[in-house]
Amino acid sequence: MNVIVRVKAVSDSLGAPPWAVALAAALSVVAALAVVTLLLRWVGKAAARAIAKAREDEDVEGRARVIAMIDDRWRTIVGICGMSVSMYGLWGFAEDTAGLPLVLRIFFIAIFDGAEIGLMLGLARSLAAQEQPRWTEGMIRSRRMAWGLVAISAAANWVHAPEGGGLWAKIALAGVPVVSVKLLEHGLDLRIAELTKAEEEDGVRPGPLRLCVLLWRQVWIALFAWLGLDATSTTSETSRRLLAQRAARAVIDLARAQKRADRRYRFTWRKSLADWKVEQQTADTAVALDRADAPVDVDQALAVVRRTMSHMQAGQLGRLNYEDVDGVVNTVVSLSALQQKVRQRLEQQRTEVQEELRAAERAAEQERDEAVEALASEREERKQLDAEREQERERFEELTRQLREQVEAAQADREAAKREAAEQIKVLREAGEQSATLAAEDRQAEREAAEQRSKRDAKRLDDAVEQIRAEAKQQLTEQAERGAVEQKRFEQELKRLRAEAERAKSEAVERAEREAAERGAAEQKRFEQELKRLRAEAERAKSEAVERAEREAAEKLAADRAEAEKALAAEQEQAKQLRAELEAKQANPEPAEQTEQSEDAPRAEKQGGAGVRALSAGGNKGSLKERFILRVHELCEQGDHRLLGDRVTPRTRTEVAYQLQAELGLGSQGTARTYMNDAMELWEAKARVPGQKVAPEALEGQRKAPEGAVKVVVGPRRDTFGRPVEDVEKVAPPVSRKLRRRSKAAR
């Protein structure tokens, strides 16, 4: 019912329907829950990712960082929840006590709890951005402002606490913002804990609390010393120390038993008992040494021997004559001789190991050089094999070409023989035809007379033709057979050579590929090992370079700090001397005043004259500085209230300097301010010239003077702001320009 009443009141104050106000409130609650849910999910996912990464890396430091991050974010979430409770109290205070409307209630909460959260988050970001965590001046002011707002918020929660709850409810609600902000601030305190602790230890002062702390520490130190414990040691160190002590005690007992066994006894049973004790003590000593890891650990063995020697030499220290300084020194040196010898032995072994490592490195370098040479020779062999294979291929191609040419030549010869036989047959046929024609004509003319002769001739010619034809046919057949045989032989030789070349080529390629693969695998393995070693050396060199750079930066910072402290001490000493001179002058003002006036008059006259000469010499040149100074002096002569008078301030003079800068076209405002200071110093130097006064006629004459002339105004002595000062030496001693420049440089 209370909620419904509040909703109606809010709707009436805003002039909106109640359902709209209720819907807005529900949406606000849902949005807040969604934001909190998303924040929790984000924190959980980040923590889960960090934990998984830490588990994968198996890094103890990573796990510690994850736990610290979870703790820090959990504190932040709890602190924000507490601030939400505080916001509820401020809302009730703004609504019930202050009677503010809805929008102003939101603004009221924002300027207190919202500002507190913003300030604390800003402190966290500032601290995270620092290389060395510390409280700066701005962080301290932000912290004070946050705690002031917390006090106001706590007071508002106290006032708004329900009446039925009583005093405890007021205390609880008032403590909510305090606890919340303290939770948010706790993470910052943890980050600065070590530095703050060191600073507090450096700045401790004697007092009752310090006395109680020292007494408490003394009691616990005495208790630890009586028990033989080390407060700074870990569990493993304590156990190792106790095992070494027990082993040393067992060795001491064994030595005593052996001494007793070496005595001469009257009864044999006592001798047997002493020998039996030696045997038992020897077994116990072996077990104690084994438990202390003395046989395998040099440090443990050294600790056992040192404790044994210290116990054995206790009597020697008791009988020592401490008046004999040399004897005491020799005894003390002999106590640490064992450790020195062990250290020398370890250094010797380390040197031997280093020599072995260097020898191994040299052997590795030699092997690598040999591998490189082998690889180079292998490459040369491969190149030679490729050249030989290329020669074989060229020789095979040449042989193939020659065989092809021979076959083509045989074919050409066969064609030529065929053409020659055909031509011979054609000639014979033409000759026969011509002979037949002639015989017919002769038979026509001499048929009867030459019939017998023509028949003989025809028969003879036919026989010759047949013989020639048979010879040509036989010759053509022989040539064709011989050409076929040669071609077949050439083709078989070509096939055989091709098969041999292919087989040799395949064998050479396979052998080369196999050898190249084997050598490549071995070379790749060697290269990978060399690459790993080079990477390790690069990482080690990189880490050494980083450490050396950090060490040089720290040394340079320390040197700069020492120089700054030295300069500060010199400035403080100079300030003390000036203060002493001022006190001396204040103690005896009259003689000092007379002396200073007598000295100041010629000095002022000299300065005024020098200024006038400088202006007269530089005025003709027409430089910007002389024109600036002359323009300032003109304004002073005109009685400008921004330069002279009781209302003059540095700001008014700076405005005049900027005005003249714009008028004369100077480059920078700093130059204008410098010229203004020089002009006012020259004006004061001219004003300090004794025995001169400013007259209206002089002022009129100066106003009517040409631009190139120098205008000098004399009168009573005035300070930088134009006010008359008669006893300025009594107020403070004059400070030289050199001293002012030195103090400005020191600042």
425-440: average pLDDT: 74
pLDDT for 520 beyond 80: no
Q: For residue 679, which of 709, 722, 728 has the smallest C-alpha distance? A: 722
**Region of poorest pLDDT, from 196-205, 355-364, 387-396:** 196-205
Q: Which of 172-186, 287-301, 320-334, 515-529 has the lowest mean pLDDT?
A: 320-334
Q: pLDDT per residue over 66-99, tens digit each?
A: 555 555 666 677 777 777 777 777 887 878 777 8
Average pLDDT, the chain: 72
Q: Is 19 exposed, middle or buried (0-12, 13-18, 19+ CB in 10 A)?
A: exposed
Q: What does the alpha-carbon distance between residue 609 and residue 689 come to, in Å, rounded to a whole number?
A: 9
- Choice among 216-220, 274-278, 380-384, 528-532 with the minimum mean pLDDT: 528-532
For the ranges 230-244, 616-630, 729-743, the lowest mean pLDDT is seen at 729-743
Least confident interval from 30-34, 413-417, 512-516, 638-642:
512-516
Q: Mind listing the pLDDT tens digit for each residue in 569-608?
A: 777 777 777 777 777 776 765 444 444 444 444 443 444 4
pLDDT at 706: 40
Give dist(CA 122, CA 146) in Å, integer: 11
Confidence of residue 39 (pLDDT cuts 50, 70, 90): confident
Specify the pLDDT at position 657. 86
Higher-pLDDT residue of 58, 593: 58
Mean pLDDT to the nearest integer, 27-32 = 80
The β-bridge partners of 718 are 724
DSSP state string for 97-149: IS---HHHHHHHHIIIIIHHHHHHHHHHHHHHH-SS----HHHHHHHHHHHHH
Provide the residue ranges of all domains of the chain, joining segments of one domain with +.
59-201, 242-318+329-335, 592-746
Distance (Å, whole) CA 604 – CA 607: 5
CA 402 to each of CA 355, 396, 510: distance values in angstroms, whole numbers, following the listed order: 69, 10, 29
* Residues paired with residue 724 on neighbouring β-strands, in sequence order: 718
pLDDT value for 309 = 73
**666-695 mean pLDDT:** 74
- Number of H-type helices and E-type strands within the chain: 22, 0
pLDDT at 695: 37
As a whole number of angstroms, the distance between CA 374 and CA 94 comes to 91
Query: Closest by alpha carbon to 571, among 397, 339, 327, 745?
Result: 745
Select from 104, 177, 182, 175 the least CA-distant residue to 143: 182
What pLDDT is stored for residue 25 in this prediction? 77
Q: How far is CA 65 from CA 46, 60, 61, in A?
A: 12, 9, 6
Residue 54 vs residue 275, higher pLDDT? 275
Closest CA to 111 of 129, 124, 125, 98: 98
Burial bucket for residue 483 (CB in 10 Å: 0-12, 13-18, 19+): middle
3-state secondary structure 333-346: HHHCHHHHHHHHHH
pLDDT for the residue numbered 549: 67
Q: Give the model's pLDDT for residue 602.
A: 43
- The per-residue pLDDT for range 642-675, each reduced to its tens digit, is 888 777 888 888 888 888 888 888 777 888 888 8
Lowest-confidence region among 52-56, 134-138, 641-645: 52-56
Q: How far apart are the first and last CA of the chain?
A: 70
Q: For residues 707, 713, 718 and 722, what is the CA-based torsion angle, rounded to 10 degrees?
A: -40
The lowest-confidence range among 144-158, 244-258, 450-464 is 450-464
Q: Which of 17-21, 402-406, 448-452, 724-728 has the lowest mean pLDDT?
A: 724-728
Q: Of 257, 232, 124, nearest to 183 (Cα)?
A: 124
According to the model, what pLDDT value does residue 451 have?
Answer: 65
Q: How far is it, in rounded angstroms, from Cα 512 to Cα 214?
A: 85
User: Which long-range contacts link 234-241 to residues 24+ away (Cβ below 8 Å)?
Assistant: 240/292, 240/293, 240/300, 241/303
Across 91-105, 183-197, 301-315, 326-340, which has the greatest mean pLDDT?
91-105
Tokens at 600, concatenated: 């100041």
Query: What is the pLDDT at residue 696?
Result: 37
Query: What pLDDT shows up at residue 744?
Result: 52
Whether residue 441 contacts residue 459, with contact meaning beta carbons closer than 8 Å, is answered with: no
% of the chain with per-residue pLDDT over 90: 0
Flag whether the pTM goes above 0.95: no
